[in-house]
Amino acid sequence: MLISPDMIALITQARAERPKLRERDLAATLGLSEAQLVAAEAGGAATRIVADPARLMPHICQMGDVMALTRNESAVHERRGVYKNFHAGAHASMVLGDEIDLRIFPRHWVHAFAVRGETDQGVKRSVQVFDAAGDAVHKVHLGAGSDAAAFDAAISDLAVPDDAPFEIAARAAPEPARIDAARIDALRSEWAQMTDTHQFLAMVRRLKMNRLGANRAVGSTFARQLPVDAVSWALERSAAEALKIMIFVGNEGCIQIHSGPVQRIEPMGPWQNVLDPRFNLHLRADHIAEVWLVSKPTKRGPAVSVEAFDAEGRLILQMFGKRAEADIETSGWDRMAKGLAAEVLA
C-alpha cells in the first residue's frame, strides 16, 4: 500500500466534505503532494505505471485526440490534439505535433498513474505524471473521441508492481535572481553574439547567473522591464490583431507550447484566461511580480519575447511571435511588443 490506511481515510473524508475542490488544492489543505493524493486511489481508480517518457509517450501517441495539461504554480496550459512525432532522449525529449508541442526533461518524470473514475458524465480517464516531490509535471486527459483501448493497453504494459518503492522527496526551494557583477560585461558581449535562442540558458549558467538575473543585468539593449499587467495587454492585443504567437508554460519536467492565434480573452477574478476551442490558458495575474521585454539575436533576426516571473523568481510564462521553418514572419508580434513597451514606459 502506497499510502497508510489512516491517510486514506483522511483523504476520503476531505473529498466528501469539499467535493468541488481541485485535487491540487485539496492536497495542499492536507499538507500532502498531489501524487500522494492520487496514490491513495492505487488499486482502485488509480494504477501506478512507469513514468519514463521513452516508454510512456509511445502509448500516449496511440490515444488519439486528448487534452495535454502542463502547469506551474501560476499558470495552467491546456492544449487539445494528438501526440505525434515523439523523439526520446536521455536528457531531453520532444513531442513535435501540430497541436501538442512539448519539451520533456525525463529525470523529473518520477511517479506516474493511469486514473480511471466514474462520474456523472461517464468514465474519465487520465495519465498523470509527477516529479520526485509529488508535484504535477504533465497530465493527459482523454475525452469522448480518445482511444480507450490504447489507455488500457498502457496500463497492461506499464503497470508497476505493488511493492515498488514510493517515496516523496522534499520540494526544492525556488532559485532567486542570480547576478555575478564581475561577469556583466561578458554577459552583454556573449548575448550580442548569440545566433540561436537555445544558446541562452547554457550561456547564463556558464556566467554563474540565471534567466531572471540575466534579464536584470544585461541592460536595456536586450531587456526592458514592463509593468506587471503587460502580459494581459499582450494577450488582448494579440487577439485583437489576430497575431500568430507562441505561449510557453512549464515546470522543471515539461514545457508546453501553444503556437497560433488566441481569440477569447476572459479575465475572471485574479485569473486571466484564454478560452479557445482547442487551447486554454489560466494565468494567475496576481502572481506576476516582474515582466520583461527581451530580445535575443538569432540568424533569422531578433527573437522578441514577453517573460513573466513570480515574486520568488520563478518563470511563469513566455510569449513570442510564432516562428517555424515555413512561417518565420513575426513582424506583427515584434511591432506590437515593442510598441507596447514604448507606450507603457512613456
Range of the domain at 203: 181-344
Asked whether residue 238 is domain-assigned, the answer is yes
Domain total of the chain: 2
The pLDDT mean for the chain works out to 93
- Whether residue 175 is contained in a domain is answered as no
- Residue 229, φ and ψ in degrees, nearest 5: -90, 10
Instruction: Please check whether residues 199 and 326 belong to one and the same domain.
Output: yes
Indicate whether 227 belongs to any domain: yes
Same domain, 17 and 124: yes
Residues 142 and 235 in one domain: no
- The pLDDT score that the predictor gives to residue 341 is 66
Same domain? 238 vs 127: no
For 340, the enclosing helix (H) or strand (E) is helix 331-344
Residue 326 has pLDDT above 80, yes or no: no
Considering the domain architecture, whether residues 153 and 264 belong to the same structural domain is answered as no
C-alpha cell at 135: 508535484
Bridge-based pairing of strands 315-321 and 245-250 is antiparallel
Task: Specify whether the CB–CB gap between 211 and 204 falls below 8 A.
Answer: yes
Q: Checking phi first, is residue 17 left (phi over 0); if not, alpha (psi -120 to 50) or beta?
A: alpha
Report the C-alpha gap between 214 and 259 in whole angstroms: 26
pTM above 0.85, yes or no: yes
> Same domain for 337 and 189?
yes
pLDDT surpassing 80 at residue 346: no
User: Quick one: 145 and 36 in the same domain?
Assistant: yes
Q: How would you classify the pairing of strands 223-226 and 265-268?
A: unpaired
Of 201, 211, 175, 204, residue with least CA distance to 91: 201
Q: 64-109 pLDDT, tens per residue?
A: 999 999 999 999 999 999 999 999 999 999 999 999 999 999 999 9
With cut-offs at 50, 70 and 90, classify the pLDDT of residue 282.
very high
120 within domain boundaries: yes
Q: Assess whether 45 and 134 both reside in one domain.
A: yes
Is the residue at 188 inside a domain?
A: yes
Asked whether residue 318 falls in the same domain as residue 195, the answer is yes
Same domain, 58 and 197: no
The reply to whether 148 falls in a domain is yes
Looking up residue 285, the CATH number of its domain turns out to be 3.40.1570.10
DSSP label of 225: E
Same domain for 149 and 190, yes or no, is no
Residues 6+ apart with CB under 8 A from 10: 30
| Residue at 99 is within a domain | no
Identify the band that residue 197 occupies on the pLDDT scale cut at 50, 70 and 90: very high
Question: DSSP string of 10-64?
Answer: HHHHHHHH-TTS-HHHHHHHHT--HHHHHHTTBTTTEEEE---HHHHHHHHTTSE
Strand 265-268 versus strand 271-275 pairing type: antiparallel
Asked if residue 91 belongs to a domain, the reply is no
pLDDT digits (tens, 9 = 90+) for 228-274: 999 999 999 999 999 999 999 999 999 999 999 999 999 999 999 99
